[in-house]
Amino acid sequence: MKGKVVLLGTSSAMPTKDRNNSGVYLGYKGEGFLFDCGEGTQRQIMRAGLSIYRIDKIFISHLHTDHILGLPGLIETLDMHDKDSIEIHSVKGLKNVIDCVLNGVIYAPDIQININEHSFSADVFTIFEGKEFRIKAVGLNHVVDCLGFSFEEKPKRKYNKEKIKQLDLQGSDFIQLEKVGYINKNGKIIKKEEITFVEKGFKFTYIPDTYRTENIIKLAKESDLLVIESTYLNEENKAREYGHLTLEYILQIYPELECKKIVLTHFSRRYSSLKEFENRIREEGITNIFLGHDFMEISF
């Protein structure tokens, strides 16, 4: 297991007794990433058995309170435990929000808060490039500027075990292959490309608040895991008015998404039960769309 995704909050607008406000945790090889930070998120992190102090990067989709109210408290907690810095990526305006809150409560943290504000873009762009992964974003179609995010593990070249066995390659052969890209085996030149293949990395996409837009497919296509808002079942008028998705629309674009697993989140509190969502998915005979719940964990 390289990592896991944990849903910390699956309610829209306001928390319920069973569902917290928005938040998704991604753990990857010892690093922690947080996507949105609604009210109560740091408590949800602790309840999920995760470490707050491993969070190095936070990605805020937009500035509605149900996605950011937990952020000032989380920053203070990290500061009180002597974390040196925290990197935050967001739409424009977050720095003013954080400054106002921290100044308003007369709190001057020692932690270095590095806020990177990104302009709304209809094109997918990279907001962070690491050695083994990159994180991309794209503008969505909410009532305010909003970004969707995608974590993409970089592809890796791996050796074909059958070919290695056929050629009887030994340890010294691999050292040579890694060093110069080829070996001379019994008078025959064997290139690394001939005995390796490229393995696609894991792709996780988070689509928060949005109405219909082709940018969902642009960002999420062929994800191994897609966590996507489904505020409404089929109330199209409300979805259009408030800038959200319906399950019906997700079912409509399902064939184009080509995702291995889809998890729905951000449910309206009008639904005391999600049985209708479940029944509608079953009607379509779809087996890889799941209803998200707080503390749902997906390993990869």
Q: Are 290 and 213 found together in one domain?
A: yes
pTM: 0.91
pLDDT at 56: 94
Backbone φ and ψ of 74, nearest 5°: -65, -40
Q: Which of 197, 228, 260 is the last residue in one of the domains?
A: 197
Q: The tokens 């740091």 sit on which residue?
A: 42
Question: Does residue 141 sit in the same domain as residue 281?
Answer: yes
Burial class (CB in 10 A: 0-12, 13-18, 19+), 58: buried
The range of the structural domain enclosing residue 187 comes to 157-197
Tokens (6 digits) for 262: 């889809």
**Are residues 26 and 173 part of one domain?**
no
122 CB-near residues (< 8 Å, 6+ apart): 138, 139, 215
187 and 54 part of one domain: no
Look at residues 61, 39, 71 and name the one whose alpha carbon lies nearest to residue 228. Answer: 61
Mean pLDDT by 10 residues, the chain (300 residues): 97 96 98 98 98 96 98 95 96 96 84 96 97 98 99 92 84 86 86 88 99 99 99 98 99 99 98 97 98 99
CATH number, residue 37 = 3.60.15.10
> Do residues 221 and 281 share a domain?
yes
Torsion of CA 6, 20, 34, 52, to 10 degrees: -90
Statement to judge: residues 254 and 114 lie in one domain: yes
- The answer to whether residues 56 and 81 belong to one domain is yes
Total structural domains within the chain: 2
Give residue-wise pLDDT tens across range 54-91. Answer: 999 999 999 999 999 999 999 999 999 999 999 999 99
Q: Among residues 18, 36, 66, 84, which one is catalytic?
A: 66
The Cα–Cα gap between 194 and 140 comes to: 42
Residue 59: predicted pLDDT: 99
Determine the Cα–Cα distance for residues 193 and 175; give it in Å rounded to an integer: 15
Residue 180 corresponds to which tokens in the numbers above?
């110069």
Annotation marks residue 66 as catalytic: yes
Can you tell me the distance from the alpha carbon of 78 to that of 95, in angstroms, rounded to the nearest whole number?
17
